[in-house]
Structure formats: structure tokens, C-alpha cells
Amino acid sequence: MHEYLFLIPIFLFLLLGVMSPGPSFIFVAKTAMAQSRKEAISVAIGMGVGATLFAIIASVGLFVILDTISWLYSAIKIIGGGYLCFLAFKM
């Protein structure tokens, strides 16, 4: 179970992205104004389910890739650490 804890921050950031206004918000608002509230709620739920499925599929794919190619995870950590050091130096 602990090996799947990396999914929590990914889900949180995707949740923030889903909550921010964008084309999906405009689509739901347009549906609410042009049609009924029930249809707008259905559209919003459908978009939320779609985003959730996308997040799960992307996370599982990333997990499979990093689990299959173990050196890639180490390389990403080293590159990320180097980038953070670069940012600290630039500050």
C-alpha cells in the first residue's frame, strides 16, 4: 500500500487543475444557461469522471514505466535535485 502513496500529490494537483476555470467551465456554464441545470450537472460529473480516469491511467502508466526501468527513477531524482540546486544558485 505504501508504494502507491506517490499518487496522492498527483491527484491533489489534478484536482486543483480541474477546479480552475477553463474550457470545461465555459462548457458547463454554457450548458447551464442554454439547457437545464440537470444537464449541466451531468456534464460536470462526466468531465470529472473523465479527468479522474485520465489521472488514474497516467499514474499507473508512470508507475509501470518507473517500475520497469528502475534506473530511470534514479536519473529523474538526480536531474530533479540538480535542477533544484540550479534554482537555488540562481536565487
Per-residue model confidence as pLDDT tens digits over 34-80: 998 899 999 999 988 998 899 899 989 988 998 899 899 899 999 99
pLDDT tier, 7 (very low <50, low <70, confident <90, very high otherwise): confident
Determine the pLDDT at residue 1: 62
State the pLDDT at residue 66.
87
Q: How many angstroms separate the CA atoms of 63 and 66, rounded?
A: 5
pLDDT at 4 exceeding the cut of 90: no
Whose grid coordinates read 462548457?
Answer: 27
Q: How many other CB atoms are there within 10 angstroms of residue 33's CB atom?
A: 8
CA nearest neighbour of 16 among 60, 42, 55 = 55
